[in-house]
Amino acid sequence: MNIIVGYYDRATYYFLLLFTFLLPLSRVSDTLFTIYFFLYFIIAIIFYRDNKLFKENFFIVTSLFIAYVVVSLMWSVSKEQTIGDASHYIQWFAIFGVAIFINKNIETIDKVITLFLAGMIVSEVLSYGMFLEFWTIKGRGALEPTPFMMHIDYSVYIAVSALILLNRVFSKRYTFKVRVIMALFFMTMCGNLFINGGRTGQVAFIIAMLVAFFIHFKISFKNFIFIISLCIAIISTAFYSSSTFQKRATLAVSDIKKLIYDNNYQTSLGQRVGMVVIAPQLVKDHILLGNGINSQKEVVTEFINRVNPPYFTNYTKNFLKHNHMHNQFLQTFVELGVIGLIMLFLVFYQIAKFIIVYKEFRELKIIFLTIFIFSSIPEPLFLKQFTNILFILFIGVLFGLHINSKRVNIE
């Protein structure tokens, strides 16, 4: 039995490294990853008999949240006959599989992060090639240089990758030469972020960069002026060197003016604000439990058909009927109510409380949470395959480090 377990763990080691590299490059590998580590979690519980996991608050809170999502199918107003969006949360069980493996194989951590960055560098090369019109991928080229995912999802990936590199540049763990190389890659990542149209990742990147700076340096007026100046320099350079970023930034300003002065919701920003405006009306009769998972589009359609809000154009009404809430927290509130929203906040709270003795990864926890929380404000990241898997991988790694760190402290 020990020989079989040894071979299985070795196979899992290679599979995890391969998956991590392919994460930004393939949807198929993402699906295989969640299935594999969900099964790994089940097998580990049966054969390894390691019950420490069950005592962890994060495990308890997350499992209860997943169960609540699934149970909400019972009162969902959705006419779908499948589990639909609930499947994205069920995939979170793979977090525990990753955590169990990482706890047992802590030396794998650096390779996992490095191979994720390697996969992103391959994606970045392809993206720059599209931008420079050397090639097209899936019919996309210079105007949308995102090789394998939507520009919003890609911007979150780049933000995470760039901040991992910046965190390592700030770290004294690496030699000067290595930090210079990582600084160069950080700059190319910044360029890639701003030639793409994903404002979600761009905003989260700026906020997380501020957080990363103050993690490493004392808060002082001098340092504050420096980091603000750096942010302004990056944004100004992007604005004047990237026509895509310039158009998206100008469009954002235009959207704000139309919303404030003309009460115009027929813009990207206006549609998001429109979702905020109608959200309280969607749950007023089900505020505690929500309308059930998968129900959001149907309750929005019912509300608009019944009330016919005069402040929305027909275009905006049609958009709201056929799209998600463009906000993870609003999406959760409408479908799972106050109880579901509180449970989601508790999941984030338990992640924030992870005890990690390794300084670089303790910093990574804060940076990753910052990016993910702020990116979840304009987009429901858990309903998107690429960003949901990104969450599963990194939280699985961090949870495994947390379990291992507690064991180290005890010993």
DSSP for 56-105, written as a single string: -HHHHHHHHHHHHHHHGGGT-----SS-TTHHHHHTTHHHHHHHHHHHH-
pLDDT band, residue 50 (cuts 50/70/90): low
Which is more confidently placed, 50 or 115?
A: 115
Is the per-residue pLDDT at 411 higher than 50?
no
Query: For position 409, what pLDDT does the model report?
Result: 54
Query: For position 229, what pLDDT does the model report?
Result: 86
Is the per-residue pLDDT at 314 higher than 90?
no
For 137-180, write each residue's pLDDT tens digit: 888 888 888 888 888 999 999 999 999 999 999 888 888 999 99
Residue 388 vs residues 153, 391, 394: alpha-carbon distances, Å:
10, 5, 10
Is the per-residue pLDDT at 5 higher than 90?
no
Distance CA 227, CA 113 (A): 26
pLDDT band, residue 408 (cuts 50/70/90): low
Is the per-residue pLDDT at 227 higher than 90?
no
Distance CA 172, CA 216 (A): 10
Is the per-residue pLDDT at 330 higher than 90?
yes
Residue 386 vs residues 35, 140, 159, 241: alpha-carbon distances, Å:
15, 18, 14, 28
Write down the mean pLDDT value for the chain: 88
Mean local confidence (pLDDT), 274-296? 89
For 192-221, write each residue's pLDDT tens digit: 998 887 888 999 999 999 999 888 887 777
